[in-house]
Amino acid sequence: DVKVTQSSRYLVKRTGEKVFLECVQDMDHENMFWYRQDPGLGLRLIYFSYDVKMKEKGDIPEGYSVSREKKERFSLILESASTNQTSMYLCASSLQGMYVTEGYTFGSGTRLTVV
C-alpha cells in the first residue's frame, strides 16, 4: 500500500513563526498536493507539484510556499504564521495520469494551531 506520512499530527506555533509541514510518500508518485480543511469549507487546494522542483498554485496560496527538492518529499511552508492559518492540513499524492482512475492517497493530517 502507498503510504503518505505527515511528520506531525498536532502542532502549536506562535504568530509570526516560520512553520514547516513535511510530507513524505513511499510509492514513487509524481503528483503531490497540500490542502487545508476547515469546517463548512471542505478541502481547499493550497499548492500542488507534478514533478521535482515544479509547483503550481492552487486556490488559496497566499501566505504559503512549498518546496519539492526530492520526489518523495513535499513541504508546505508558512512564512509568517497567523491565527487565520489555524487549520487541518492534508497532504496527498497520486501517480501521474492515474489520479483519474485511482484517486489520491492522503496522509493522516496535521492539525496546526497558531496562537
Residue 14 or residue 40: which is nearer to another protein going by CB? 40
One symbol per residue from 28 to 57: x for binding another protein (CB under 8 A), - otherwise; what is it? ---x-x------xxxx-x--x-x-------
End-to-end CA distance of the chain: 37
Give least dist CB 75 to another protein, A: 17
DSSP character at residue 9? S
Which cell goes with 26?
513511499
Interface residue with another protein among 21, 76, 90, 114 (CB under 8 A) is 90
Residues 36 and 66: their CA atoms lie apart, in Å, by 14
Residue 68 or residue 109: which is nearer to another protein going by CB? 109
Q: Dump the DSSP string for 70-114.
A: ETTEEEEEESS--GGG-EEEEEEEE-TTTHHHH--EE---EEEEE
Binding of another protein by 60 (CB under 8 A): no
Give least dist CB 16 to another protein, A: 28
